[in-house]
Homo-oligomer: A and B are copies of this chain.
């Protein structure tokens, strides 16, 4: 008998028929003797519907008072889900009880619409589990110290599930989603992409932050901090497949560095084309210049990703960075009006048609030559590299976006990801 947390996304909860199927799956686990906690999202489309209503009444909610109301409204989506799922389980003869985040309580700070969980009270949940009940808890939300409802932001239900699993010291947290695990890269780009049976926490973190949409990055951070064994698996398998088969499916995110001989150097290839590249040319090379450039951009609430400043010559240097593609025009405007006149840069150049491709792998730590193999592979395909940035377990390059698919496919093959049959880490 184990204590298991299941998380189901909005698509899995999208209709009463699907909720019934989730209930059947959970019932199977409960009948197998496991203590079950379930964290479902709102029914698909519901959160958008609620926020749409709110937006009609206040198009640009930004004050804490307005964000508080936004959260109170948005949180009702999951409150409906948990009640319906509890009814569906009871209808199948499985004792079940639902709780809103405030009832558990899942305590958070007061950063409405993007709150962070500070503490989870597990007393009620443990008592219900001991009494043989399935406990269903709203994802995405909590309560602050003043008794206000808060939400954790988009994708917050993943984080809720992991946080609940951490608080209860669950044996495993299963994230049911619309893909059947974490892949070496996106199978829509590379048909040979393989599902990883395991991936290390650090690799998952890089994959998540680099555009692999399987898990919300905060949930991975949370899992890492509290060492919650996390499994990503498909909610589209029939609910009545053998529990052993289901328990071994998907991708397990691990924390132990195992000693497998055939450890793959690179676990996967991540990519995105949501960014734009900007270069400030002929910048005087003096202390404080990076802040002079990026300060006004950050002040305009624009996220900055890759930042590159190369060595200078003749007292001038070029300074490049990437921003979300949606913010490209606005960033150029900020630079033109607030930065260029102040620092006296020679020129501004931008390109929205770029992509970022990254190789990720914990094996990179101990293997030299991984980055150079990446560069050689791209070179052999005639792909020019515009920017390079590295961390301990990843190397990212910025390319013309037209080369993205080609680069991903070539790298996937070069690092043997379409052949390797063992786990990545």
Contacts and interface: CB of A to CB of B under 8 A. Distances in A.
A91 interface: yes
A424 interface: no
Given A16-B53, A16-B56, A79 B72 contact: yes
A73 interface: yes
A65 B94 CA distance: 11
A92 to B, nearest CB: 10
A87 B54 contact: yes
A84 B16 contact: no
A83 B65 CA distance: 11
Contact of A54 (B53, B58, B66, B83): B83
Contacts of A83: 54, 69-70, 72-73
Contacts of A66: 87, 90
Interface SS of A by simple majority:
helix
A80 B97 contact: no
Contact of A90 (B69, B79, B84, B87): B69
Nearest to A49: B80
Interface string A66-87: 1011101101100110111011
Interface in A26-81: 50, 53-54, 56-58, 61, 63, 65-66, 68-70, 72-73, 75-76, 79-80
A386 B147 CA distance: 58
A288 B87 CA distance: 42
Given A50-B80, A53-B16, A72 B88 contact: no
Interface stretch (A98-106, A154-162, A366-374, A389-397): A98-106
A386 B16 CA distance: 49
21 contacts: A16-B57, A23-B57, A50-B80, A54-B83, A57-B84, A57-B91, A58-B88, A58-B90, A65-B90, A65-B95, A66-B90, A69-B98, A70-B83, A72-B79, A72-B83, A72-B100, A73-B79, A75-B79, A76-B80, A79-B79, A103-B148
A58 B147 contact: no
Q: Can you tell how many copies of this chain the complex includes?
A: 2
6 nearest CB pairs, A to B:
A73-B83, A76-B76, A16-B56, A72-B83, A57-B88, A58-B87
A69 B86 contact: yes
A149 B83 CA distance: 11
B73 A84 contact: yes
A199 B285 CA distance: 84
Given A19-B57, A53-B80, A73-B80, 13 more contacts: A20-B57, A23-B57, A65-B95, A65-B97, A66-B90, A69-B98, A70-B87, A72-B86, A72-B98, A73-B79, A73-B83, A73-B87, A79-B79
Nearest to A63: B90
Contacts of A86: 65, 69, 72
B147 A87 contact: no
Question: Which residue among A16, A19, A82, A148 has the maximum number of chain B CB atoms within 10 Å of its CB?
Answer: A16
A147 B147 CA distance: 13
Max chain B CB contacts within 10 Å: which of A82, A83, A95? A83
Interface in A84-135: 84, 86-88, 90-91, 95-98, 100, 102-103
A19 to B, nearest CB: 6
A363 B97 CA distance: 53
A40 B23 CA distance: 34
A63 B97 CA distance: 12
A20 B80 CA distance: 25
A193 to B, nearest CB: 38
Contact of A82 (B50, B72, B96, B97): B72
